[in-house]
Amino acid sequence: MDMETENLYDGREQTLAKHYILRRYLLRLALIVGKWRRTINYVDCFSGPWNVRGEEYEDSSFAIAVHELLSAKKKLAESSSPPNIRCFFLEENVEAFAKLHEYSKTVQGVAVEARNNRLEDAIEDIIRFCAQGQKAFSFVFIDPTGWKGFPLKTIRPLLQLSPGEVLINFMTSHARRFITLDQEKENFDALYGDPEWRTELSPLSGDERDDAMVRLYAQRIRAAGGFQFVNYTPIFHRAEDRTHFHLIYVSRHQKGVEVFKDVERGAVEVMEKMRAQVKHKKLISGGQALLFGAEEMHDSSYYSRLRTYYLTRAKNELCLLLQRCQPLEYDQSWELAVSYPLVWEMDLREWITRWRQEGRVEVCMPPGTKVLKRGTGALLRWK
């Protein structure tokens, strides 16, 4: 991402991180899915635009989606028949929709349908739109400005689109402030689909509470859509040591998880770089003379603490699973480890290497297999 594009996000760097994930993931998704599906449907349920600065809306989610999907279509056309790309953009606000509609009329190479409506009143239209695509794969993006307007009961039909995947922005900073208020009980119960989540959340605080809010919601999303995999990743506040929101991703195929986790690692680098620059600019504007650059001075302790928290939880849960399941497939250990935010396959490999050296784990690989990897039938046995 060039400097000019980064400047479009000045003051909203957390949106840059979100768009980094959307941009990188959509391109790779389309390149993979476009080889075996005739149609790719992209649905943006809260399209905006909001606070965009680019003259061509290049810092908006809908324009990013169009650009990346068209890039994938062009690439696929070099070696095979490219898929049909279809986009459904939904926006309730009349003024924002007017801009969205004008943009939609300029798009070429993609079939675009833009609607001015509430999500609750547009579900049937979205389902009908996705059903019209021949041999289609649907990707649904739910990116609200708060926690209202997409109760679980409402979005369940979107979650059940198959084959398909869903990416949801869970506004952690808003939930953190309002989730305990009596006047918001009904709204949050509708969001989660039931009131049972309160029992597990009530005794927690800090990072554990934030994680539980998202994890419990993610579990319900997974169950409602019949997904095999669920992942969620934190997007940090631009200038403060706290998580601003989480992106929740659900899929029915481990290849999608593999790509998402790879994109997550890149997003961490983008977030920390931008947070360093924000703090550096603040010091300079305060009149301080600085000897070192932004990245040299950046305090990454918040990210490190959060990653350590998830590494510890994932490692401990894997130890328990290894002791219960004799033997355990490597694929299962991978699925558990990477289900945690900020935990990647390289971490899993490091744990297994150390446990083997300590004589705690035996690795059984099929004949002719020299490298521990998924899909080979490799087994782990706790000693």
Q: Which residue has the tokens 């782990």?
A: 380
Question: Which secondary-structure segment (H or E) carries 361?
Answer: strand 361-364
Q: Which domains does the chain have, with CATH numbers?
A: 3-276 (3.40.50.150), 300-382 (1.10.10)
CA dihedral 194, 200, 201, 207 (to 10 degrees): -130
CA 283 to chain centre: 32
pLDDT, the chain, mean? 92
- Residue 333 confidence (pLDDT) above 70: yes
> pLDDT digit string (tens) for 247-278?
999 999 999 999 999 999 999 999 988 888 88
3-class SS letters over 214-249: HHHHHHHHHHHHCCCEEEEEEEECCCCCCEEEEEEE
CA distance readout (Å), 86 to 40, 54, 113, 166, 267: 6, 23, 8, 16, 27
Contacts of 104 (CB under 8 A, 6+ apart): 89, 112, 113, 114
> pLDDT digit string (tens) for 58-108?
999 999 999 999 999 999 999 888 999 999 999 999 999 999 999 999 999
pTM for this entry: 0.94
CA distance 359 to 55: 60
Residue pair 153/190 in contact by the 8 Å Cβ criterion? yes
What is the percent of the chain with per-residue pLDDT over 70, rounded to a whole number?
94
**With bands split at pLDDT 50, 70 and 90, how would you rate the model's confidence at 285?**
low
Contacts of 343 (CB under 8 A, 6+ apart): 307, 310, 311, 314, 337
**With bands split at pLDDT 50, 70 and 90, how would you rate the model's confidence at 293?**
very low
